[in-house]
Amino acid sequence: MHNITLIKGDGIGPEISDAVLKIIDAAGVNINWDIQTAGADVIEIEGVPLPQRVIDSVKKNKVALKSPVTTPIGKGFRSVNVQLRKELDLYSNLRPCYNLPNVKTRYDGVDIVVVRENTEDLYAGIERQVDDDTAESIKRITRFASERIAKFAFDYAVNNGRKFVTVVTKANICKLSDGLFLDSARKVAQNYDIPLKEILVDNCCMQLVQNPNQFDVLLLPNLYGDIVSDLCAGLIGGLGVAQGANIGKDYAVFEPVHGSAPDIAGQNKANPTAMLMSAIEMLNYIEEKDAGYRIKSALFKTLENDIKTADIGGTTSCTDFTDSIISRL
Ligand code: ATP
């Protein structure tokens, strides 16, 4: 029996969490889910969007599966996602992007792993209103955080048979901050046999949409990592299929790349694939590899049979898609 925290989120969060829990249960994995709520609805009752109980639960269980929690744009509370990553020191954001069967995309054979630094950069939340018409954000980069994420990227590359790592910066403009990130990557690379390539983020975006198959592992600071992850999600069929994990020294939180998709919430239209792929990585992480393999095969067979949600060109509802996967387990 595994004890795992489930953060249910809002928007499409509850729908896709229910789908994934049903599939994992049908696969026969024994998980005692510690269900935790967070976000705007929680503020009304508990005064904060991310109560200490959620953090304590992940600290106790060490592993969490999380569905999206809405981040208000331009005002309101600080992102629960960012806060959680910070509180638990989940310094690496890992987003493997590869084509899924029968999901129409511009390119075949995409197989990119995005490794994004998760704790600093413009996400450190150091902002100030200078006057009514001027605002500032501090882009904070440290050698400590840059070296440990570079080490994570290289270790991942070694352990997963990847060929090279490309560090992505704008070090020609942000000479000090991105310069430090780049320098740290170069330093760490000296300890590995795997080569380090370097590219500027603007060129990287162009190359990704023109020829994504030239990339292997991408190593990026927080903000570029966020943007490039969504770009890579677009290459493999969109946010509905893009998985993610936040991993630190002591804890791991698995979550889809996408947000809470309020535009389709409550309509039984959401694609649970991104959350399911994240959960499969979680099962691998807790050494339930056989169940992870069986669920992935059932998912792939479902897609091969052209059973797909609307975001990837089908007509199947979230619940019917879920039941189709279960019937193929
Ligand atoms: P955030 O800033 O919180 O990450 P976002 O701005 O990236 O959020 P999303 O909530 O991810 O936005 O949604 C972007 C678009 O993708 C929306 O049109 C949404 O409906 C769609 N989308 C996201 N996730 C899914 C999903 N699982 N299934 C179907 N469509 C989705």
Report which ligand 1 atom has the smallest distance to the Cα of 230: 7
Nearest CA to ligand 1 atom 31: 240
44 — pLDDT class (breaks 50, 70, 90): confident
CA of 261 to the centre of ligand 1 (A): 4
pLDDT (tens digit per residue) in 307-318: 999 999 999 999
Owner of token pair 């069967």: 101
Please tell me the least confidently modeled range out of 43-47, 93-97, 108-112, 252-256: 43-47
With 0-12 / 13-18 / 19 or more C-beta atoms within 10 angstroms meaning exposed / middle / buried, residue 325 is buried
Average pLDDT for the chain = 95
Structure confidence by residue, pLDDT tens digits, 261-271: 999 999 999 99
From the list 265, 247, 245, the residue with the least C-alpha distance to 255 is 245
pLDDT at 182: 98
Does the pLDDT of residue 252 top 80, yes or no? yes
Answer yes or no: pTM beyond 0.85: yes
Q: Tell me the pLDDT tens digit for each residue of 229-241.
A: 999 999 999 999 9
In short, whether 15's Cβ falls inside 6 Å of ligand 1 is no
Q: Determine if ligand 1 sits within 6 Å of the CB of residue 274.
A: yes
User: For atom 1 of ligand 1, which residue has the closest CA?
Assistant: 259
Q: Is the CB of 308 under 6 A from ligand 1?
A: no
Higher pLDDT: 75 or 47? It is 47
Tell me which residue has its CA closest to atom 25 in ligand 1. Answer: 240
pLDDT surpasses 80 at 75: no
Q: Is 19 within 8 Å of 268 (Cβ atoms)?
A: no
- Asked whether the predicted pLDDT for residue 48 surpasses 90, the reply is no
pLDDT at 305 over 80: yes
Q: Is 258 in the pocket of ligand 1 (CB under 6 A)?
A: yes
Atom of ligand 1 nearest to the CA of 79: 3
Report the pLDDT averaged over residues 53-57. 97
Region 57-61 average pLDDT: 98
- How many other C-beta atoms can be found within 10 angstroms of the C-beta atom of residue 242? 25
Q: Is 239 in the pocket of ligand 1 (CB under 6 A)?
A: yes
**Contact 71 CB / ligand 1 (< 6 Å):** yes
Tell me the two tokens of residue 297.
Answer: 């095969």
CB of 168 within 6 A of ligand 1: the answer is no
Band of residue 74 on the pLDDT scale cut at 50, 70, 90:
low
Tokens of 122: 């413009």
Q: How confident is the model at residue 73 (pLDDT cuts 50, 70, 90)?
A: low
Closest CA to 191 of 247, 142, 148: 148
Mean of the pLDDT values across residues 85-108?
95
pLDDT of 162 over the 70 cut: yes
- Confidence band for 295, pLDDT divided at 50, 70 and 90: very high
Confidence check: pLDDT of 215 > 70: yes
Token pair of 167, please? 């560090």
- Residue whose Cα lies nearest atom 3 of ligand 1: it is 259
Instruction: Put residue 161 in one of left, alpha, beta given phi > 0 → left and psi -120 to 50 → alpha.
Output: left
Which one of 100, 258, 275 would you pick to mutate in the ligand 1 pocket, going by the greatest count of ligand atoms within 8 A of its CB? 258
Q: How far is CA 230 from the centre of its chain?
A: 10
Angle between helices 289-304 and 273-285 (to 10 degrees): 160
Tell me: the pLDDT tens digits for 138-159?
999 999 999 999 999 999 999 9
Within 10 angstroms of residue 251's Cβ, the number of other Cβ atoms is 20
Q: Under a CB-based contact definition with an 8 Å cutoff, are residues 245 and 93 in contact? A: yes
C-alpha angle 114-119-122 in degrees, rounded to nearest 5: 90
Q: Which atom of ligand 1 is nearest to the CA of 263?
A: 20
**CA nearest 42: which of 84, 87, 4?**
84
* Strand 217-220 with 2-7, pairing: unpaired
